[in-house]
């Protein structure tokens, strides 16, 4: 079966990557770029913080990249060695290979990334697709995950019906549609000009992932024996936050839950909550 290219046009790709690399050039703390070769393609990593500090690996959501963490990294890097990873097949600097959510590809890829970084035991965190991938890996190798941070994760409870179709419809409405999506995603979260521009560019020029994210089985969730932090917004347009929390509580013995009443799907800039959880 022929798969869609990641970008709708070469010109669109160049606009997206130009903006991303502009954000990288303004990274708020000292950093280094690392490229990890894996069987799933080269993986781009932004490393910040003391190399001897406990490692924190962060995964962004679908249609995004490591710029997601450009504000949080200021606080994280004071205490941790932070690795912000571009997921392959998304609009970042990793390989364009888009491997499936079914099977073990995501877990196998992340295993190779950790090997390449020489990290044996990690604090693992992600948002949306990245949170699902973090859960996937923690289920796959729980002994390698010290603590887990899952921000509005897919895969725990079925997503809201028809939301993908609505997003596609709004994206066809031009500026009015972009404003609608921005409001629904970010709610009352402050949005930088770069983040707003990036959302518009990806809606115009990027082909998002399609297909359902697999749900974790009860037996898989029972493997989450490490401390887990679940963060979500009450107004999330994709997940049912209270249903996700309810299911996690059934199987995760050491779970911390915070649901923000005034937030949507983009629960960002929450380093203080994460650091408090890590210091428990």
Q: Give 120's DSSP letter.
A: S
Domains and CATH numbers, the chain: 10-278 (3.40.50.1820)
pTM: 0.93
Cα–Cα nearest to 153, from 134, 132, 125: 132
Of 67-71, 145-149, 167-171, 224-228, give the lowest mean pLDDT range: 167-171
Query: Do 137 and 163 contact (CB within 8 A), yes or no?
Result: no
User: Is pLDDT larger for residue 238 or for residue 130?
Assistant: 130
Binning pLDDT at 50, 70 and 90, where does residue 214 land? very high
Instruction: Classify each residue of 119-150 as buried b or exposed e, where b means 16 or more C-beta atoms within 10 Å of its C-beta.
Output: beebbbbbbbbbbbbbbbbbbbeeebbbbbbb
Secondary structure (DSSP) of 74-102: HHHTTTSEEEEEPPTTSSSSS-S----SS
Within 10 angstroms of residue 54's Cβ, the number of other Cβ atoms is 16
pLDDT, mean of residues 53-79? 96
Model pLDDT, residue 163: 59
Q: What is the pLDDT of residues 221-271, one digit of tens each?
A: 999 999 999 999 998 988 999 999 999 999 999 999 999 998 888 888 899
Q: What is the pLDDT of residues 189-204, one digit of tens each?
A: 777 889 889 988 998 8
Residues 6 or more apart whose Cβ sits within 8 Å of residue 48: 27, 29, 30, 31, 73, 76, 77, 81, 82, 84
pLDDT, mean of residues 127-145? 97
């Amino acid at each position: 079966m022929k798969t869609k290219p990641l970008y709708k046009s070469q010109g669109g790709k160049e606009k997206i990557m130009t903006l991303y690399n502009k954000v990288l050039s303004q990274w708020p703390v000292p950093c280094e770029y690392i490229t990890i070769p894996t069987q799933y393609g080269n993986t781009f990593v932004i490393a910040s913080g003391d190399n001897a500090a406990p490692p924190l690996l962060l995964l962004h959501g679908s249609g995004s990249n490591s710029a997601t963490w450009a504000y949080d990294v200021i606080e994280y890097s004071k205490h941790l060695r932070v690795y912000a990873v571009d997921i392959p097949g998304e609009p970042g600097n990793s390989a364009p290979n888009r491997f499936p959510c079914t099977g073990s590809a995501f877990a196998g890829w992340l295993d190779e990334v950790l090997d390449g970084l020489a990290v044996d035991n990690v604090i693992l965190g992600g948002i949306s697709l990245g949170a699902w991938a973090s859960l996937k890996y923690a289920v796959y190798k729980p002994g390698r995950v010290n603590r887990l941070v899952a921000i509005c994760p897919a895969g725990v409870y079925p997503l809201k019906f028809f939301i993908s179709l609505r997003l596609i419809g709004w994206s066809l409405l031009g500026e009015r549609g972009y404003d609608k999506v921005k409001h629904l995603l970010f709610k009352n979260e402050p949005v930088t000009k770069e983040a707003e521009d990036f959302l518009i560019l990806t809606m115009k020029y990027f082909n998002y992932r399609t297909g359902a994210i697999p749900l974790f089985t009860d037996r898989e969730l029972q493997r989450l024996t490490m401390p887990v932090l679940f963060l979500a917004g009450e107004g999330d347009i994709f997940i049912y936050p209270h249903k996700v929390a309810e299911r996690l509580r059934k199987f995760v013995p050491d779970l911390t839950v915070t649901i923000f009443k005034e937030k949507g799907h983009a629960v960002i800039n929450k380093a203080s909550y994460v650091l408090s959880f890590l210091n428990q």
